[in-house]
């Protein structure tokens, strides 16, 4: 019996573990500290710092089964999903890696052994390709692995040369292909590969990173060549299980079959129904894993991609007769299939269902709105006799309202219409270019300063001791000034210092870097920040504020006293521990779907971002506050333990969205209600926090809320200031503080009644004024007209409407000089005066006389101008038009 997908994943990991590889967990679909890509799109992403030389690996061999997303950005397979046998938005990439350890010979041998021995694929059905200039790989395949020459294809750079970017690590690659059908008569493996005619299926790509490409295009050999391989598990599963399509493998067939079997009223041909089921099956996987990794539907970036995925699935669900809500319910089928290797999707399932249900309802509303807009557009075009709709208009419907283009095409076809595909594609191309430019603008040089890398290469990484010591006698290992190592410092210099033992906490996990001082007999440095640009390297940023001589030359291992600002650190620790309690309180009140999505912790306040689908009510915030402050009163210990990541997960400790964890982690228990993975500093007892007060709650993105809070003295000061304001209000209102709200409501109601009375009096005054003004009406031709200038604080428009109501049929023009060089004018006309005397048209035509602009409706319009002296001219021109 053929291996299942889960068995293939496990066998791959076990095989490479037996070859000395370290099993590294899949990283998040949201790239860690890498703004150059939208999603994790390859197995090597989490090792990029190793390949770039920014960080020394803890191991030289690794094996992963990496979650990968290719929808949005450079790698975007979204539109092909469901229509081909192989394309997916989400898939898993199996990979083995060597960081300066083994190279081509071993990588090729490992791959061949795994495919032919572990998976049992017939060597007769396997061929390989190599880069046409890579004779070394060709020889290994032929001479050492025994492949006949005719089964080794030679291809160009496009197919068999890989690079990380325009510059940086790169190298040839070798691909292993599986034969799907007999080679056509007169053809050959080489020709099949060149023409990509479907005879062979690429199943594994072995990348040999052996060069570094410079900006001028020159390539120099890397001192430590590396290996990066990738094999899609869905693809190899279809091969092992002898299926033509990835969707027929056990990883996807269960979902596809369920969707087709339970479709209420499918439309279209059988093949179209299969496409819809495949799209839905693929997209439920993508949506579930994205949400589990903290991506929330929105109108930009990653959020827009998941929104498109959900809506595309909903659109195909509609084709099969499913009602809104079906996509969320599919998680009950999908989650059990993948929760063993990826428990995070089980943990977020309920939250997933809530978010997806909301999104499906929004899309249902969008469809209704889109159909209405499209109907109005088509009606307008048909009145003009237009049969081909402008592609720009169709694109606007697609881009602005998210209306599916295939649904638009169906509606147009039903009405015997079409649209200009060229202008639609041009608009689509512009959008893609704008998106690419926006992504390019975010690109940064991920190469860490060579100075930092050089320090690590010299073994000058340092030891952080600030968990137990806030003041130490230590040595200076290195000083950096203006990006260069130096041993001379002067007063006023901004410098970076590497200490042998550092008590300063480096900014991480939302906690700000420590401040403090570094002193010696020769100089004093005020520390204003601490960072860790490279793991294992703690760098203190400071300014030299005094020196004993104009220049101080540092000797090797200069001894100094380094001290952290105790007040800042202790208050920061209290705020950090409080964020842990805040998350526990939110989960207790709102539900287990709440997870940290970001934070900022300093000595003044704490800020906590979290996943939640609705505003947090005042009552819920009070419940959260009560939960936390009760824990503070209980004054339990804060315990810090170190253990393996797997053991930490077994204890129920929480991890953070998108955070990268090593094999060993710190687990912080804040009493018995909170347990999280955290590398930050914390207070020793909950009672040290004193008191917590939430000061704000708001939305910062779709599905993400933000709370800001104060603790200790800052919280006390905030409450005292607010109570002082409340006390002042109560004294002014002459009621107790507890009755202030009721008294304010009473006053607001009284104010409302008086405003109504004022409005009635104003209307009465306007009516009286209108009656008086009617004495000034005159006949211009056959039209009753009232033309006058008014003074004072009068709203011309409401005044004109009042006069119009009193007059009935006729025309009114009112003017008011606002300043020496400003005039306002309004015209009101009754409907019976006909199209020649429409207010809006008259204002447009007359406004230039007073150097103004304006407009309005056919019965009331207004404008402002800068030439008050032209009023007589304006009146004369109006009278001329009335009698014309």
242: tokens are: 């002898």
Q: What is the 3-state secondary structure (H, E, C) of 274-304?
A: HHHHHHHHHHHHHHHHHHHCCCCCCCCHHHH
Q: How far apart are CA 412 and CA 410, in angstroms?
A: 6
User: pLDDT-derived band of residue 535, with 50, 70 and 90 as boundaries?
Assistant: confident
CB under 8 A, 24+ apart: contacts of 841-844: 842/878, 842/881
User: CB–CB of 655/661 below 8 Å?
Assistant: yes
Q: How far apart are CA 526 and CA 428, in angstroms?
A: 54
Which of 137-141, 220-224, 645-649 shows the highest mean pLDDT? Answer: 137-141
Q: What is the pTM of this model?
A: 0.74
Query: What are 675's strand-pairing partners?
Result: 669
The rounded percent of the chain whose pLDDT value lies above 70 is 96
> What confidence tens digit (pLDDT) does each residue in 746-766 have?
999 999 999 999 888 877 776
pLDDT of residue 536: 81
439 vs 271, residue with greater confidence: 271
Indicate if the pLDDT at residue 557 is higher than 80: no
Q: Is 820 exposed, middle or buried, given 0-12, 13-18 or 19+ CB atoms closer than 10 A?
A: exposed
Q: How far apart are CA 517 and CA 763, in angstroms?
A: 72
User: CB–CB of 296/704 below 8 Å?
Assistant: yes
| Over residues 328-339, mean pLDDT | 90
Q: How far apart are CA 815 and CA 819, in angstroms?
A: 12
| Over residues 534-547, mean pLDDT | 90
CB atoms within 10 A of CB 231: 24
Please give the angle made by the CA atoms of 557, 559 and 561, to the nearest 5 degrees.
140
> What confidence tens digit (pLDDT) does each residue in 838-869 have?
898 999 999 999 998 888 888 999 998 999 99
pLDDT of residue 438: 56
| Over residues 474-484, mean pLDDT | 90
Indicate if the pLDDT at residue 443 is higher than 60: no
Q: How far apart are CA 560 and CA 184, in angstroms?
A: 78
Helix (H, G, I), strand (E, B) or coil at 77: coil
Q: How far apart are CA 852 and CA 857, in angstroms?
A: 17
pLDDT of residue 658: 64
Q: Closest by alpha carbon to 232, among 95, 374, 70?
A: 95
238 vs 763, residue with greater confidence: 238
User: CB–CB of 573/681 below 8 Å?
Assistant: yes
Indicate if the pLDDT at residue 567 is higher than 90: yes
User: CB–CB of 776/788 below 8 Å?
Assistant: yes
Q: If you average pLDDT over every residue of the chain, what do you get?
A: 88
User: pLDDT-derived band of residue 85, with 50, 70 and 90 as boundaries?
Assistant: confident
Q: How far apart are CA 298 and CA 305, in angstroms?
A: 8
| Over residues 22-28, mean pLDDT | 92
> What confidence tens digit (pLDDT) does each residue in 367-378 have?
777 778 877 887
> What confidence tens digit (pLDDT) does each residue in 89-121 have?
999 999 999 999 999 999 999 999 999 999 999
| Over residues 610-623, mean pLDDT | 93
Q: How far apart are CA 315 and CA 318, in angstroms?
A: 5
> What confidence tens digit (pLDDT) does each residue in 657-696 have?
667 777 788 999 999 999 999 989 999 999 999 999 999 9
> What confidence tens digit (pLDDT) does each residue in 656-668 have?
766 777 778 899 9
| Over residues 335-362, mean pLDDT | 88
| CA dihedral (631, 634, 639, 645) positive or negative | negative
Q: What is the DSSP string of 500-555?
A: SEE-SPPPBTTBPPP-EEEE-SSEEEEEEEEEEEETTEEEEEEEEEEESSSEEEPP
The residues, any chain, with a CB within 8 Å of residue 686's CB and separated by 6 or more, are: 577, 581, 631, 632, 634, 635, 636, 637, 638, 670, 671
| Over residues 377-405, mean pLDDT | 78
| CA dihedral (47, 48, 49, 50) positive or negative | positive
In this structure, of 391-395, 475-479, 807-811, the range with the lowest mean pLDDT score is: 391-395
459 vs 645, residue with greater confidence: 645
In this structure, of 134-138, 285-289, 504-508, 648-652, the range with the lowest mean pLDDT score is: 648-652
pLDDT of residue 657: 66
Indicate if the pLDDT at residue 414 is higher than 70: no
pLDDT of residue 55: 78
Query: What are 865's strand-pairing partners?
Result: 823, 852
In this structure, of 138-142, 286-290, 413-417, 573-577, the range with the lowest mean pLDDT score is: 413-417
pLDDT of residue 57: 83
pLDDT of residue 410: 67
């Amino acid at each position: 019996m053929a291996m299942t997908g889960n068995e293939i994943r496990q066998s791959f990991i076990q095989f490479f573990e037996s070859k000395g590889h370290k099993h590294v967990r899949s990283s998040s679909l949201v790239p860690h500290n890498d703004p150059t890509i939208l999603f994790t799109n390859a197995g090597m992403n989490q090792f990029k710092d190793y390949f770039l030389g920014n960080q020394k690996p803890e191991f030289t061999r690794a094996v992963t089964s990496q979650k990968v997303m290719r929808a949005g950005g450079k790698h975007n397979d979204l539109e092909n999903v469901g229509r081909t046998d192989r394309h997916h938005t989400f898939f898993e990439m199996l990979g083995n890696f060597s960081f300066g350890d083994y190279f081509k010979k071993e990588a090729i041998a490992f791959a061949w052994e795994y495919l032919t021995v572990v998976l049992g694929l017939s060597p007769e059905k396997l061929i390989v390709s190599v880069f046409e200039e890579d004779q070394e790989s060709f020889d290994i395949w032929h001479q050492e692995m025994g492949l006949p020459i005719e089964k080794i294809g030679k291809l160009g750079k496009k197919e068999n040369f890989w690079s990380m970017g325009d510059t940086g690590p790169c190298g040839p690659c070798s691909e292993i292909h599986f034969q799907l059908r007999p080679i056509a008569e007169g053809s050959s493996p080489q020709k099949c590969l060149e023409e990509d005619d479907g005879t062979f299926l690429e199943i594994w790509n072995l990348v040999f990173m052996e060069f570094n490409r410079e900006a001028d295009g020159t390539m120099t050999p890397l001192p430590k060549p590396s290996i990066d391989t990738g094999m899609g598990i869905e693809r190899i599963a279809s091969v092992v299980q002898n299926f033509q399509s990835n969707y027929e493998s056990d990883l996807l067939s269960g979902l596809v079959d369920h969707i087709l079997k339970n479709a209420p009223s499918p439309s279209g041909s059988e093949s179209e129904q299969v496409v819809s089921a495949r799209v839905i099956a693929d997209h439920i996987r993508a949506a579930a894993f994205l949400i589990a990794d903290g991506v929330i539907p929105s109108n930009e970036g990653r959020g827009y991609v998941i929104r498109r995925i959900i809506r595309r699935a909903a659109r195909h669900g509609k084709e099969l007769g499913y009602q809104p809500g079906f996509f969320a319910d599919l998680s009950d089928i999908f989650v059990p299939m993948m929760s063993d290797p990826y428990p995070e999707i089980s943990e977020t399932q309920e939250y997933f269902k809530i978010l997806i249900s909301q999104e499906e309802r929004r899309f249902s509303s969008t469809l209704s709105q889109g159909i209405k807009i499209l109907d109005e557009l088509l009606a307008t075009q048909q009145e003009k006799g237009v049969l081909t709709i402008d592609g720009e208009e169709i694109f606007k419907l697609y881009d602005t309202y998210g209306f599916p283009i295939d649904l638009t095409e169906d509606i147009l076809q039903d009405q015997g219409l079409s649209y200009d595909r060229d202008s639609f594609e041009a608009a689509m191309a512009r959008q893609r270019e704008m998106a690419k430019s926006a992504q390019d603008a975010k690109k940064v040089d991920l190469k860490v300063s060579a100075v930092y890398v050089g320090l690590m290469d010299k073994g000058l990484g340092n030891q952080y001791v600030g968990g137990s010591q806030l003041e130490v006698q230590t040595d200076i290992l290195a000083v950096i000034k203006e990006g260069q190592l130096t041993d001379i410092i002067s007063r006023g210099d901004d410098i970076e210092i590497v200490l042998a033992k550092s008590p300063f906490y480096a900014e991480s996990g939302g906690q700000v870097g420590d401040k403090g001082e570094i002193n010696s007999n020769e100089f004093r440095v005020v520390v204003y920040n601490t960072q860790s640009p490279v793991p294992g390297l703690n760098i203190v940023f400071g300014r030299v504020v005094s020196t004993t001589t104009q220049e101080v030359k540092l000797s090797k291992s200069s001894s100094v006293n380094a001290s952290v600002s105790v007040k800042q650190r202790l208050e920061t620790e209290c705020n950090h521990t409080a964020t842990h309690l805040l998350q526990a309180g939110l989960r207790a009140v709102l539900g287990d779907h709440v997870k940290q999505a970001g934070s900022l912790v300093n000595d003044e306040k704490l800020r906590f971002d979290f996943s939640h689908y609705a505003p947090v009510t005042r009552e819920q915030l009070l419940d959260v506050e009560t939960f936390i402050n009760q824990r503070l009163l209980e004054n339990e210990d804060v315990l810090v333990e170190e253990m393996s990541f797997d053991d930490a997960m077994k204890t129920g400790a929480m991890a953070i969205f998108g955070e990268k964890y090593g094999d060993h982690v710190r687990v912080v228990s804040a009493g018995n209600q909170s347990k999280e993975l955290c590398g930050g500093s914390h207070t020793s007892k909950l009672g040290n926090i004193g008191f917590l007060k939430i000061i704000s709650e708001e939305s910062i993105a779709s599905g993400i809320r933000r709370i800001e809070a104060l603790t200790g003295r800052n919280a006390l000061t905030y409450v005292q200031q607010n109570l002082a304001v409340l006390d002042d209000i109560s004294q002014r209102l002459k009621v107790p503080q507890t009755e202030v709200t009721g008294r304010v409501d009473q006053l607001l109601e009284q104010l409302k009644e008086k405003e109504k009375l004022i409005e009635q009096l104003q209307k009465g005054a306007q009516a009286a004024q209108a009656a008086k003004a009617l004495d000034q009406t005159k006949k211009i031709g056959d039209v009753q007209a009232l033309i006058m200038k008014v003074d004072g604080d009068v709203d011309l428009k409401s005044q004109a409407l009042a006069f119009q109501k009193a007059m009935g049929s006729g025309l009114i023009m009112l003017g008011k000089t606002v300043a020496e060089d400003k005039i306002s004018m309004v015209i009101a006309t009754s409907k019976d005066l006909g199209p020649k005397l429409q207010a809006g048209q008259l204002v447009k035509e007359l406004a230039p006389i007073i150097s103004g602009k304006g407009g309005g409706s056919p019965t009331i319009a207004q404008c402002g101008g800068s030439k008050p002296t032209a009023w007589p001219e304006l009146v004369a021109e109006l009278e001329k038009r009335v009698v014309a």
